[in-house]
């Protein structure tokens, strides 16, 4: 594998090897154009075709109808923390947020900081975000209902999304977009920074139900205006051309192996292998409650911080990188995104057994 190791980083994260090879092969001469894609005008026919194809691929992979539009924007998921209230707020109504971790809380705080009415409707903070709160329901005065589908730092994930009726469900899917089949009809807006499970950093995928485009006020900055981007098919200004290109290749990689259901099956098998290895001993202890566990980011503790440090450094010597947990949970975090092969998880589990044998 040309010196490549298993990279469990939370993001930017591992990409499919075949995608990297395609990028390499097309780098100097993109499809006979005599130049690389990143040297090409975003107004060229070639790039325009790539954008159109990419929008269609998002629709195809997730099953979105013509009622939805895909946008490729910049500013990361953090940019969307601002874009959501800027575009979707309604006079006299309140943006509602579920606090399931650091990113969810940042989204909530950004809305408040911008002066919008925002309310935290539920929180898992008192158990250090080890679960997804249940019984979620929007209030009568909700402008939108915001959740973070996968909590990258804590390793929890919504297994089902709340029913929000007429209130648009807004979901930060930065770390689990394309990880499993979703019911497109449930959503008002989905956004995802690509660098976890969908591509490189610097491009953010937004999928919006078209009727919501009518909410965007003219007075907000154009760069955050969903309607402006929708009208220009994501080419209002120079987009991250390279980012869109890589996202396109990742989507084809999903499609060509049989689509989202195949990917989901592989993800469930990988996650089961790892959670079984954790649960099967008293040495490792999972952070997330069993009913809330993430398929993408698996978090666990060892008996002491010294052992955790040792685990991370010895893992690296075994070509298993990026396993240090986020400081707000501590311990270990293995990000097992779509592009992590089953062999990577098996290698990790083998290392865990050996580590426990020596240190348990």
Residue 11: CB minimum distance to ligand PLP, A? 5
Nearer to ligand PLP, 16 or 193 (CB): 193
CB 245 to ligand PLP: min, Å: 18
Written as six digits, the tokens of 126 are 């008192």
Q: Which is nearer to ligand PLP, 51 or 175 (CB)?
A: 175
Tell me how far apart the alpha carbons of residues 179 and 260 are, in angstroms, rounded to a whole number: 7
- Closest distance to ligand PLP from the beta carbon of 80 (Å): 8
Query: Residues 197, 62: contact at Cβ < 8 Å?
Result: no
**Separation between Cα atoms, residue 148 and residue 136, nearest integer Å:** 13
Find out whether the peptide bond into 12 is cis, omega within 30 degrees of 0: yes
172 carries an active-site annotation: yes
Q: Which residue is nearest to ligand PLP (CB)?
A: 76
Question: Tokens standing for 344?
Answer: 């990577």
Nearer to ligand PLP, 200 or 331 (CB): 200
Nearer to ligand PLP, 96 or 172 (CB): 172
In the residue annotation, 103 being an active-site residue is answered as yes
User: Catalytic one among 176, 180, 196, 270?
Assistant: 196
The minimum distance between CB 203 and ligand PLP, in angstroms, equals 9
Active-site hit among 103, 130, 180, 253: 103
196 catalytically annotated? yes
8 A C-beta contact, residue 133 and residue 104: no
CB of 114 to ligand PLP, least distance (A): 16
For ligand PLP, which is the closer residue by CB, 76 or 259? 76
**For every residue of 192-251, which 3-state class applies, written as one string?**
EECCCCCCCCCCEEEEEEHHHHHHCCCCCCHHHCHHHHHHCCCCCCCCCHHHHHHHHHHH
Q: Based on CB atoms, which residue is closest to ligand PLP, 89 or 156?
A: 156
Nearer to ligand PLP, 76 or 184 (CB): 76
Pick the closest to residue 331 from 315, 350, 347 (CA basis).
315
Provide the pairing of β-strand 320-321 with 297-301.
unpaired
Please give the residue ranges that form the binding site for ligand PLP (CB under 6 A): 11, 76-78, 103, 148, 152, 172, 174-175, 193, 196
Q: How far is the CB of 205 from ligand PLP (least distance, A)?
A: 11
**Contacts (Cβ under 8 Å, ≥6 apart) of 197:** 13, 175, 176, 177, 178, 179, 296, 337, 338, 339
| Distance in angstroms (rounded) separating the CA atoms of residues 201 and 185 | 28
State which H helix or E strand residue 285 sits in. Answer: strand 285-286
Tokens at 277, concatenated: 């290895």
The secondary structure element, H or E, covering residue 356 is: helix 342-359
- Which residue in the block uniquely carries the two structure tokens 């685990």? 311
Question: From the candidates 130, 172, 252, 270, which is the catalytic residue?
Answer: 172
DSSP 173: -
Q: Report the distance separating Cα 42 and Cα 38, nearest Å.
A: 9
Q: Minimum Å distance from CB 112 to ligand PLP? A: 17
Active site residues: 103, 172, 196
């Amino acid at each position: 594998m040309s010196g490549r190791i298993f990279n469990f980083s939370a993001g930017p994260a591992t990409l499919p090897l075949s995608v990297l090879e395609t990028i390499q092969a097309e780098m100097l001469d993109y499809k006979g154009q005599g130049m690389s894609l990143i040297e090409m005008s975003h107004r060229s026919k070639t790039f325009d075709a790539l954008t159109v194809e990419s929008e269609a691929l998002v629709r195809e992979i997730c099953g979105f109808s013509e009622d939805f539009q895909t946008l490729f924007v910049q500013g990361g998921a953090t940019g969307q923390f601002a874009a959501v209230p800027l575009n979707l707020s309604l006079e006299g109504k309140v943006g509602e947020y579920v606090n399931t971790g650091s990113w969810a809380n940042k989204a909530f705080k950004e809305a408040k900081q911008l002066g919008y009415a925002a309310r935290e409707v539920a929180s898992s903070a008192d158990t250090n975000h080890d679960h997804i709160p249940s019984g979620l329901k929007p209030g009568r005065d909700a402008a939108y209902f915001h959740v973070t589908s996968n909590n990258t730092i804590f390793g929890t994930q919504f297994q089902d999304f709340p029913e929000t009726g007429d209130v648009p469900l807004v979901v930060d899917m930065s770390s689990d977009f394309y990880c499993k089949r979703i019911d497109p009809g449930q959503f008002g807006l989905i956004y995802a920074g690509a660098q976890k499970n969908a591509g490189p950093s610097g491009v953010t995928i937004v999928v919006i139900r078209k009727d919501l485009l009518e909410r965007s006020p003219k007075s907000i900055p154009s760069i955050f205006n969903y309607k402006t981007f929708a009208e220009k098919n994501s080419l209002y200004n120079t987009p991250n051309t390279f980012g869109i290109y890589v996202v396109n290749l990742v989507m084809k990689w999903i499609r060509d192996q049989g689509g989202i259901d195949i990917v989901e099956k592989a993800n469930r098998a990988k996650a089961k292998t790892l959670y079984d290895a954790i649960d099967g001993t008293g040495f490792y202890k999972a952070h997330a409650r069993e009913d809330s566990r993430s398929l993408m980011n698996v978090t666990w503790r060892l008996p002491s911080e010294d052992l955790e440090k040792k685990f991370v450094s010895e893992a690296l010597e075994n070509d298993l990188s990026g396993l240090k947990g986020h400081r707000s949970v501590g311990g270990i975090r293995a990000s097992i995104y779509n592009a992590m092969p089953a062999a990577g998880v098996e290698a990790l589990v083998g290392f865990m057994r050996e580590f426990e044998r020596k240190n348990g």
